[in-house]
């Protein structure tokens, strides 16, 4: 076997922002059932590590294009982490101050990453859930004249997925089967934007949407109230806290409503957080693909769909981010910091550089 070689991308980049998108679709070789072909679109290849880099960039640039975001104006947004990290990257590159509001239940590493990128992070009580941090961001924007990013309402969200994510999928699967596309939702931008294109250009592709089993707010059939600006005015009564960070706030976002109203998805399947954790661990340990609980949860649903899928079916699964966002969450429970007994036995099998006995 010859050594692998690379030849570069054939271009130079003026900014880190020019590297957003064009994430790879990767074949799953060992843990997928033999009767189907499974690919994952691995959004951790975005420069700040998640799918939310796409919407963060377009929210800021659409604000600039339309004159709503002024030079040097502070940007503010409520986020569970990935949008905030993406916005922090974009704002750092473009020179905008950023304030993020985030419930204190989300992983500590997310708030540290945002602060490392120059953002200010205002924590809100976990008891107030996503609606609490959302209300705080809106209040701060109104009180200070800041630019509210409005990821849950803005058309810039789904539009960027129509313009980039969907086109990448069409290009990568040109001339190939694509029987299932599987995704979860946070804001709903990915499913709304990509589905616009798949329903038009790949109508035979079945779109599978998933949400946490204990926070199945879409499956409940109840749509929370919104004001004239399409902002939620209540916490969804079917919501319960769940471990799939970045998925399913305690309201149905207006961006997601497009997919619901237009029946963009063919099936809605709930997933247990424990299953997402289990499949995230398997993707890492058996495929070398390091994704978070949201990616593991989407993949878990793909494995359920595969059980009844016709032989030869081809699936594409969205993996929203990297597992490094989850170091302090249940995803890493049981992962030792010190040597295990097996590791100590390996060390003891040769005489040098041994750690002292505890």
Phi-psi region of 314 (alpha: psi -120 to 50; beta: other; left: phi over 0): beta
Show me where the domains of the chain are located: 16-50+164-332, 52-148
Tell me the percentage of the chain whose pLDDT exceeds 90.
95
Calpha distance 19→26 (Å, rounded): 19
Is the C-alpha dihedral spanning 100, 104, 107, 109 positive or negative? Answer: positive
Q: What is the DSSP letter of 275?
A: H
Residues labelled as active-site residues: 52, 294
pLDDT tens track for 4-61: 999 999 999 999 999 999 999 999 999 999 999 999 999 999 999 999 999 999 999 9
Calpha distance 329→319 (Å, rounded): 18
- 16-50+164-332: what fold? Rossmann fold (3.40.50)
pLDDT band at residue 107 using 50, 70 and 90 as cut-offs: confident
> CA nearest 85: which of 146, 145, 16?
16
Calpha distance 125→133 (Å, rounded): 8
In sequence order, what are the beta bridge partners of 341?
none
pLDDT tens track for 163-219: 999 999 999 999 999 999 999 999 999 999 999 999 999 999 999 999 999 999 999
Q: Are 16-50+164-332 and 52-148 the same fold in CATH?
A: yes
Say if residues 256 and 190 touch (Cβ distance below 8 Å).
no
> pTM score > 0.85 for this model?
yes
- Dihedral angle over CA of 274, 180, 193, 251, nearest 10: -30
Phi-psi region of 265 (alpha: psi -120 to 50; beta: other; left: phi over 0): beta
pLDDT tens track for 264-281: 999 999 999 999 999 999
Taking the CA atoms of the chain, what radius of gyration do you get in angstroms? 21
pLDDT band at residue 358 using 50, 70 and 90 as cut-offs: low
Q: What is the CATH number of domain 52-148?
A: 3.40.50.1100
> CA nearest 23: which of 289, 334, 303?
289
Say if residues 268 and 218 touch (Cβ distance below 8 Å).
yes
């Amino acid at each position: 076997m010859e050594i692998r070689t690379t030849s570069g991308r054939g271009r130079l980049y003026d900014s880190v922002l020019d590297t957003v998108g064009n994430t790879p679709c990767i074949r799953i070789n060992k843990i997928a059932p033999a009767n189907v072909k499974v690919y994952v679109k691995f959004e951790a290849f975005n420069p700040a590590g998640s799918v939310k880099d796409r919407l963060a960039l377009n929210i800021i640039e659409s604000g600039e294009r339309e004159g709503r975001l002024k030079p040097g104006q502070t940007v503010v947004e409520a986020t569970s982490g990935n949008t905030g990290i993406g916005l922090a990257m974009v704002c750092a590159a473009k020179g905008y101050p950023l304030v993020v509001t985030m419930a204190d239940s989300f992983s500590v590493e997310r708030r540290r990453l945002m602060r490392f990128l120059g953002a200010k992070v205002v924590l809100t009580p976990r008891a107030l859930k996503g609606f609490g941090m959302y209300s705080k961001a809106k209040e701060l924007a109104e009180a200070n004249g800041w630019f509210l990013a409005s990821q849950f309402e803005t058309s810039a969200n789904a539009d960027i997925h129509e313009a980039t994510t969907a086109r990448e999928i069409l290009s990568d699967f040109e001339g190939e089967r694509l029987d299932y596309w599987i995704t979860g939702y946070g804001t709903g931008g990915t499913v709304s934007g990509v589905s616009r294109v798949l329903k038009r250009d790949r109508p035979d592709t079945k779109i599978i949407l998933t949400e946490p089993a204990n926070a199945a707010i879409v499956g409940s059939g109840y749509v929370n109230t919104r004001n004239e600006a399409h902002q939620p005015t209540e916490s969804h009564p079917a919501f319960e806290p769940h471990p799939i960070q970045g998925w399913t706030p305690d309201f149905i976002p207006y961006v997601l409503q497009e997919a619901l109203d237009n029946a963009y998805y063919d099936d809605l399947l709930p997933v247990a957080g424990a299953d997402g954790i289990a499949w995230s661990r398997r993707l890492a340990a058996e495929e070398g693909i390091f994704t978070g609980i949201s990616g593991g949860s989407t993949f878990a649903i793909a494995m359920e769909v595969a059980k009844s899928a016709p032989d030869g079916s081809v699936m594409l699964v969205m993996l929203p981010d990297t597992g490094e966002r989850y170091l302090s969450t249940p995803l890493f429970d049981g992962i030792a910091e010190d040597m295990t007994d097996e590791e100590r036995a390996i060390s003891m099998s040769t005489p040098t550089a041994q750690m002292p006995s505890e």
